[in-house]
């Protein structure tokens, strides 16, 4: 799926994406506010919609996706009040 299709982030996806708004370079978290790993399905769905993109590979934890917020993600947060 591509960005701009009218699909809005779910509440969980919004919480994940919103955390990138205040981080340098739009870095998205690996862990939630409670210290739990962000659900990989949430990350994958945000990647599939173009709201996030991989930033770099983590050599210590190659299965963890280090991502950053995209302009499409910023637009989805601004336009889509889920």
Q: For residue range 6-59, what is the model confidence (pLDDT) as tens digits?
A: 789 999 999 999 999 999 999 999 999 899 999 999 999 999 999 999 988 778
Contact between 43 and 67 (Cβ < 8 Å): yes
- What's residue 57's pLDDT? 78
pTM summary value: 0.84
Q: Which residues pair with 54 in a beta bridge?
A: 67
* Cβ neighbourhood burial of 11 (10 Å; 0-12, 13-18, 19+): exposed
Domain residues of the chain, as ranges?
A: 11-79
- What's residue 22's pLDDT? 92
Q: Which residues pair with 65 in a beta bridge?
A: 57
């Amino acid at each position: 799926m591509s960005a701009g299709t009218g699909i809005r982030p779910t509440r969980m996806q919004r919480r994940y994406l919103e955390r990138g708004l205040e981080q340098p370079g739009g870095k998205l978290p690996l862990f939630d506010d409670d210290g739990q790993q962000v659900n990989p399905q949430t990350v994958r769905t945000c990647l599939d919609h173009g709201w996030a993109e991989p930033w770099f590979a983590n050599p210590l934890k190659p299965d963890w996706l280090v991502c950053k917020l995209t302009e499409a993600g910023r637009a989805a947060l601004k336009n889509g009040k889920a």
